[in-house]
Every structure is written in C-alpha cells, then in structure tokens.
C-alpha cells in the first residue's frame, strides 16, 4: 500500500495585524516559507510536482494564483506549477490532504502543501462586501436556493460561536478560563523555545507576536461582548494575524530517490459537513469519522491541534469526544497565537509534528472548523 510522508514542515512566526509582518506582500510571505522548506529539506526544487497553497481572501495581493506567484517570487524553477485553493479556514489543511492524495494515488511523488494570509494587507471580508455587522451586503453570496433552504437569517462565524455556547451550555466564565489557559500555555511554549525549530524568522521577527501571557480573567471580564446579551468577546476569539506555512509531502520512491528523511506518515484523512448556520461544529463529526476510519480512539491520540477559532469550538468538541484537555493544544492555540486564515492549517500541522517529535508521541490529530459548516481531520503517525 502506498504511503505519503511529511519530510519537512516550516512556518513563519505569526505576526499581529500591526506587527513586524504587516507590510510584507502575500506572495513574498509565501515565498519565504517555500524557499525555507526547500533549503531545510535539501530537495531539488525542480523535482516538485505541484505547489498547493491555501488562501481565503483571494483578492489584491492574494489574487491571480498566489501559489504560483509565491513560488516564482522565491526564485524557484518556472517548470513547477502552483494552484491556490479555498476551503475557508481549513484551506492549508486541505492543501495537505490534496498533496497526500496526489502521492497516495501514485500520480505524484513530491508535493508542497502550503498556506498564506496577510490579514493586515488583505483584511478579512475583502472578497465579500460586508456591512457594519459583518453580514454580506445585498445577501451575497447567498442566492435564491440558499434563501429557500435557510431563509434570511444571519450566517456568520460570530453567530455560530454564540449558538454553540448556548447549545453546549458554555458560560462566559467557561470561555474566558479556556482563553486564559491558551495564553498561558502559549507564553510558556514561546519562552521555552518549543516553536523555534519550525519557525523561519522573517523581517527581524523570530517568535510569534500575538500571545498575551500576562492577560487576566479580570481584564477579560471588562471587555464588551460582540453582541448584546452574548458571551463572545475578543478575548475568546482567534486573533487577526499574518503568516505562512509550507510542508513537503513525499512518496516512498521520492524518499529513496532524494535521500529524504520521513518524519511522519499521513495516517488518516477525513472530511465532514455540518450545519452551516452553526458553522463551527464540523470538527466533531470530522474527528469521529477520522477515528472510525483509523481504528484509533481519542485515548490513542498523543497530541491534538484543533483550531481555536472561538473558545466554544474547542470546548464543545472536547465535551463530545471526551478528549483529555491536557493533550489538546498543549502549547496554546489561535486565541493566543493568532489565526492567519489560509495559513493556519499548515501552521497547526507544523506545530503538531514538532510537538510529537519533542515529546516522543506517536499519533497526532489535527482538525479545524471552516466556513459553510465544514471541517478537515488529519491523523499523522510520527516515525
């Protein structure tokens, strides 16, 4: 049976919207991790079959196939093509899936799975005009068929987060306690240098910028909720950020031919759709499918990286899956470390791989919620 191996994983530090990376063109941001990936793995870049790059806001600096422009901007061979994909927040996790599937199918041997998003340069919502409440103007992109099925109700991640908190009985205090722990874990991990091996410093920035390890429950309690009567505040939401990621996925033949070192194998791939109004519940069925397909249980998973789009996403998922909180986002998540949309899937996989290597764990799970009510789930096995 064919295998797909992760032989390299690199990311930028994640920068704040006003930080050191805010003015870097998205193609140059992507080029930096692509160049770093090639240098670190030592592979002949001309041998790469394809570059698959996730990006959500494909306008302005991120339009016209940023995967291709990033590769060329890195000074890499013109003979290698690139394609840009959008599965919303899971875009670069999906790029990993597509890369692995290309290798597993036997039609490709070396595929780069990458992601990029400069949310300072290309703000969230740039591809769809939004009103002051972050609702799509003139109903875009909801057409007649959508309205016949779901009506004119608000469709947004913010409403979805509120609905999840209500359904799973999560109080504001629950969410803020989770957020505090995320920031504390992230601060400790940064200070201990846990992320240093996976980061390719850029523009003088060597470590992630977003973490707020000195925050307190008192500070969080003083923030206004995003909507009257709700429980979601900025403190329990992922941070707008800037970043890029890249992984190299290789076949067994490529490992031999290019003298590469497999670090993990892609064990299981799964996808799921869920209620698009709740929007953010997808990691629950996606994880269930991945575990069933893999023959594993949550007890077998040594490290989980689940995207902290909002605190209710993780807390509801933990309740449903019975996951051990100590093994979930052990070094903090997007609430503390930022969520540069299209890049986050690759960033989480880089974190997952390096944490398994640091701790000696065997199995790692990654999952994340996505716009439209979807989710990817990926299980890797460290080698």
DSSP readout, 40-96? HH---GGG--EEEEE-S--SGGGTTTHHHHHHHHTT--TTS-EEEE-BTBTHHHHHH
CB atoms within 10 A of CB 162: 21
Using CA atoms, how far apart are residues 327 and 310, in angstroms rounded to an integer? 18
Catalytic: 210?
A: no
Instruction: Catalytic residue, from 32, 267, 339, 354: name it.
Output: 339
CB-side neighbour CA atoms (13 Å) of 130:
13
Closest CA to 187 of 217, 206, 214, 220: 214
C-beta of residue 248 within 8 angstroms of C-beta of residue 7 = yes
Taking a C-beta distance cutoff of 8 angstroms, is the pair 376, 93 a contact?
yes
Nearest Cα to Cα of residue 94 among 307, 309, 344? 344
> Do the Cβ atoms of 131 and 92 come closer than 8 Å?
no
Interhelix angle 311-321/283-294, nearest 10 degrees = 40
What does DSSP assign to residue 130?
B
- Inter-residue contact 71 to 31 (CB < 8 Å): yes
β-pair type (264-273, 110-118): unpaired
Strand partners of residue 365: 304, 379
| Exposure class string for 100-119: b at 16+ Cβ within 10 A, else e | bbbbbeeebbbbbbbbbbbb
Choosing from 55, 89, 97, 210, the catalytic residue is 89
The reply to whether 339 belongs to the active site is: yes
Q: Is 89 considered catalytic here?
A: yes
Catalytic residues: 89, 339, 369
């Amino acid at each position: 049976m064919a295998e797909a191996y992760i032989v390299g994983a690199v990311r930028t530090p994640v920068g704040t919207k006003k930080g050191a990376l805010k003015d870097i063109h998205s193609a140059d941001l992507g080029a930096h991790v692509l160049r770093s990936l090639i240098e670190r793995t030592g592979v002949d870049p001309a041998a790469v079959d394809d570059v698959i790059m996730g990006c959500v806001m494909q306008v302005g600096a991120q339009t016209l196939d940023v995967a291709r422009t990033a590769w060329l901007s890195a000074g890499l061979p013109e003979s290698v093509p690139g394609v840009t994909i959008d599965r919303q927040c899971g875009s670069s996790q999906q790029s990993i899936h597509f890369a692995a599937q290309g290798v597993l199918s036997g039609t490709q041997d070396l595929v780069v799975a990458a992601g990029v998003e400069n949310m300072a340069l290309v703000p969230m919502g740039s591809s769809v005009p939004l009103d002051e409440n972050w609702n799509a103007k003139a109903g875009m992109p909801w057409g007649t068929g959508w309205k016949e099925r779901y009506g004119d109700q608000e469709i947004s991640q913010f409403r979805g987060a509120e609905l999840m908190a209500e359904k799973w009985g999560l109080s504001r205090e629950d969410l803020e306690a989770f957020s505090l722990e995320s920031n504390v874990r992230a601060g400790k991990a940064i200070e201990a240098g846990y992320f240093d091996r996976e980061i390719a410093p850029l523009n003088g920035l060597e470590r992630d910028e977003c973490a707020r390890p000195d925050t307190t429950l008192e500070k969080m309690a003083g923030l206004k909720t995003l909507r009257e009567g709700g429980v979601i505040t900025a403190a329990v939401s992922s941070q707008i950020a800037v970043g890029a990621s890249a992984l190299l996925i290789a076949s067994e033949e490529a490992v031999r031919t290019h003298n590469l070192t497999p670090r993990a194998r892609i064990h299981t791939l799964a996808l799921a759709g869920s209620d698009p109004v709740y929007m953010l519940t997808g990691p629950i069925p996606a994880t269930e499918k991945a575990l069933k397909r893999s023959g594993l249980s949550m007890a077998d998973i040594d490290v989980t990286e689940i995207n902290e789009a909002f605190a209710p996403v993780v807390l509801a998922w933990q309740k449903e899956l019975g996951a051990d909180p100590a093994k979930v986002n052990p070094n903090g998540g997007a609430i503390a470390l930022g969520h540069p949309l299209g890049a986050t899937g690759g960033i989480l996989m880089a974190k997952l791989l390096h944490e398994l290597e640091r701790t000696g764990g065997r199995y790692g799970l990654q999952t994340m919620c996505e716009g439209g009510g979807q989710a990817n789930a990926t299980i890797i096995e460290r080698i």
